[in-house]
Amino acid sequence: MELRDYLEILRRRWLSACIVAALVLAGAAAVTFTMTPKYTATTRLFFAVQDTQSVTDLAQGSTFTQKQMTSYAQVATSPLVLDPVIKKLHLPTTAQDLAKSVSVVVPTDTVILEVSVTGTDPQQAAKIANAVGDKLTHITSDLSPQRANGDQAVKATVLAEALTPTSQSSPNVPRNLAVGLVLGLLLGVGVALLRNVLDTKIRGDHDIRALTDQPLLGTIAFDENLPQHPVVVADDPLSAPSEAIRRLRTNLQFVDVSGSAKTIVITSSISGEGKTTTSINLAVSLAAAGSTVLLIDADLRRPSVATCLGMEGRAGLTSVLIGRASVDDVTQQWRGTNLHVLPSGPVPPNPSELLGSTAMVNLLGDLGRYFDVILMDSPPLLPVTDATVLTKHSDGCLVVVGADRVHRGQLTESLRNLETAGATLFGVVLNKVARRDAPAYVYESGYYGSAEPSEPEPEPEPNVPRRAVEAESQAS
């Protein structure tokens, strides 16, 4: 993956990345602000050799003292110093415990000792520090070697008394928040990448091209009005989905240059990918271009064509297959156009069997004489075998791919099923593409996204029966 791909992932998943970052930051803040603030008071002591006579003495004395500093540091935190401090300040603790709050630092190559006391009470910390400093000066005198004249060789002087600290030493709020932010961002990016890896849904053209070489015959944008107004090519002919359907229609002619394809099965991998809506709109579009079209609702399990068109679906294909009606009786003309619809009929207990029956084969053969194109809306490929059965008696099929709905593995499997069954696949149609996953032309209506919309085809006049015209001429 290139940098561009990473940036693309981040652009799409920015929201989850930000949420994770915000949560981590909030967590860091919560932890930081609930921690009890501690204050550190520091006193500094200077250790020196006294009464040096000469520079040599001074030099030697300095070296001696420097070497002693580590020892003095240890003394500072020993009970020797701390017990008296405890007693003096009436501290409810032991020398061992108090030592934990006392830290001693000797800056390198100096004879300075920094005694720091950390506690929750700043004033107390300062007091303890000063007491420790004070005691340490006395102890140093006690411990240092005595000169011949009775003076102590090493003397410690308080350089700076500990002041009451005004700001907390811990927790370090800016640092914690900064760390939280950085960590959050890292985690956010990590989550975004992880989600991308785990998300196997098909989203756009590139996902399909990565899976199959089959032609992509159309890319239809997601339209939230579609469920309420499914026949978009008629109700909103200038919209982007309508243009996409017309493009699909044209592309279908390209893949079937000989024009011999007559019966086309329209299916998808799983349910909810929009194959019924695509079938209906493609059928209307083909009829509008002049073909006589029959749309058969061959989904005998969950038929929906009739409902989408406001027709009665309880008389239809199954009625014909069991001999209760002729095709003539139950086909319904759509809005007086060249499109005729054969609804499913009553739902049978054995859909696969019916669709593969001799009656069905014969029916399709008969119907081919009256129609230029027969589209069959069928159940999805993966749950049941109906669609695969149908492809055996048809000239080919179209697989509708519902972006944001079907997973790559599912599409791969359904395409494989078709291949195994020896079906002719004309191509795939990418449906319900979200705005952010679509190339620009998919969402813009109008030719190449220009300001002028493209011309819709004129709708043919609905037929008024001949008898009416005759009656009219008789009456006049």
Q: Which residues bind other proteins (CB under 8 A)?
A: 228-231, 307-316, 319, 324-326, 328-336, 340, 345-346, 370, 462-465, 467-469, 471-472, 474-476
Report the DSSP beta bridge partners of residue 425: 397
Both tokens assigned to 133 = 């400093």
Residue closer to other proteins (CB basis): 105 or 471: 471
- DSSP secondary structure letter of residue 379: -
392 close to 421: Cβ distance less than 8 angstroms: yes
Return the number of the residue (118 or 318) whose C-beta is nearest other proteins. 318
Quick one: 171 or 348, whose CB is closer to other proteins? 348
CB nearer to other proteins: give 65 or 331: 331
Kindly tell me which of 36 and 476 has the beta carbon lying closer to other proteins.
476
| Minimum distance from residue 242 beta carbon to other proteins (Å) | 16
Nearer CB in complex with other proteins: 69/320: 320
Instruction: Compare residues 197 and 475 and give the one whose CB is closer to other proteins.
Output: 475
- Cβ-based nearer residue to other proteins, 336 or 365: 336
Looking only at the bridges linking them, the beta strands covering 339-342 and 154-160 are unpaired
| Spatial distance between the Cα atoms of 276 and 90, rounded to a whole number of angstroms | 87
What is the closest distance, in whole angstroms, from the C-beta atom of residue 182 to other proteins in the complex? 53
- Residues 386 and 287: their CA atoms lie apart, in Å, by 26
370 closest CA partner among 453, 311, 292: 292
Least distance from other proteins to the Cβ atom of residue 343, Å: 9
Cα 240 to Cα 310: distance, rounded to the nearest angstrom? 24
Q: Which residue has the tokens 């509708």?
A: 400
In angstroms, give the least distance from the CB of 472 to other proteins. Answer: 4
Q: How far is the CB of 360 from other proteins (least distance, A)?
A: 17
**Cα 454 from chain centre:** 36
Answer yes or no: are the C-beta atoms of 251 and 217 closer than 8 Å. Answer: yes
Cβ–Cβ under 8 Å, residues 379 and 279? no
The single-letter code of the amino acid at 219 is T
Nearest approach in angstroms of CB 304 to other proteins is: 10
Between β-strands 154-160 and 39-49, what pairing exists: parallel, antiparallel or unpaired? antiparallel
Cα 121–127–133 angle (5° rounding)?
A: 135
DSSP at 289: T
Length of the chain: 476
> CA–CA separation, 325 vs 315, rounded Å?
8
Q: How far is the CB of 333 from other proteins (least distance, A)?
A: 6
Six-digit token pair at 410? 């599912």
Closest distance of CB 283 from other proteins, Å: 15
